[in-house]
Structure 1
Amino acid sequence: MKTIICALTLTATLALPGATLAQNPGLRANYGEISLRAGFTPDPYRVSMAAGGGIDVYTDTPLPANCVGNITAAPDFEVTYTAGSLPLAFRTVSDRDTTLVINAPDGSWWCDDDGFGDGDAEVRFNRPQSGTYDIWVGTFGGGTAPATLLITETP
């Protein structure tokens, strides 16, 4: 699977009549939330979860075609982050092929499949914004799978 990272703002898409998001950052996160400040410990911060869900990002969302995986409507995890000078990265680790969909504080959407290698995803913000990051951990090819979300400032 090829590494694909995308970012976009859905303002224009959402302005279209009848346009809705299958994924909803306003819902309570499936596996909780945390507030982190630059320099947080432990690093990486780890969250165990079941990746995947019934929404096919490719066919059921207005995200671009290079965003893939199966996710739930609610984010899997929510991070409220106070930025400093360090980068911020979100990574997945699983025995299955996992994907990431992230709604950044500015409303932009970021996606990855295999950026962390061997079927694991990574989205990295070199100059992260302070604010809320809603994170979905998906599975490539459907179903669910045990996974760990890693939140780190270490490249």
Structure 2
Amino acid sequence: MKIIVSSAALAAVLMLGAAGAGAAQDSSLTPNFGTATLRAGFQPDPHVVELRAGGDQDASRINGCAGMVSRAPDYRVNYTAGSGLALTFRVNSSTDTTLVINGPDGRWSCNDDTGGSLNPGIVYRSPASGQYDVWVGVFGSDTPTARLRITEME
């Protein structure tokens, strides 16, 4: 039996396969709570953003991630490296939150709990210049308030 596959069907299958992990999170969308342009040595440090965590996308589609996040990033940081200091992202909330970041190199970083608390944090020891797309997730369907802190001082 001969199987004939149209080029459109083949292209669709290839696109689905290429989407892979993180396909539910879309960095091309406008961030829910804004964008910051930060240069090494930025002031004030920490840079703080109030936002609502959570969403309807399961972050576990990305290997090692957890929680429910939105499709669009919650926040975007365009960062210019140069100080030799680490770049740290932390979330503070009264609810158990998660943190998902797509860095300038296209790699995903995730954290659930850090420092013995239910608040997540991710540290880039040698941060690269470029775009950091940030999602703050939760377990369940709540959308609690959260505070995203970005610092070079920790």
Q: Aligning the two structures, in what range does the TM-score lie when normalised by the shorter sequence? A: 0.7 to 0.9
Structure 1's consecutive aligned runs of 4 or more residues displaced over 2 angstroms after TM superposition are: none
| Residue 24 (structure 2) aligns with | 22
Q: Deviations over 1:85-142 (max 9, x none)?
A: 1100000000000100000000000000012442100010000000000000111233
- Of 16, 32, 46, the residue aligned with 2:34 is 32
Q: Is the aligned partner of 1:101 residue 2:122?
A: no
Change (3 A) 1:26 1:17: closer
Matched, 1:78 2:80: no
2:65 counterpart residue number = 67
Deviation at residue 56 of structure 1 after TM alignment: 1.4
Distance 1:72 1:137, change over 3 A: same
Which residue in the other structure is 1:3 paired with?
none
| 2:44 is the counterpart of 1:46 | no
| TM-score with structure 1 setting the length | 0.84
RMSD: 1.4
Deviations 1:23-54 (A, max 9, x none): 10110000000100011111110000000011
Where structure 1 has 5 or more consecutive residues not aligned to the other structure, the ranges are 1-14
Asked if structure 2 preserves the Cα contact closer than 8 Å seen for 1:70 and 1:143, the reply is no
TM-score in terms of structure 2 length: 0.84
Show structure 2 runs of 5+ residues with no match: 1-12
Report % sequence identity. Answer: 47
| Length, aligned pairs only | 137
Q: Residues 114, 131 of structure 1: CA spacing in aligned structure 2 closer, same or farther, 3 A cutoff? A: same
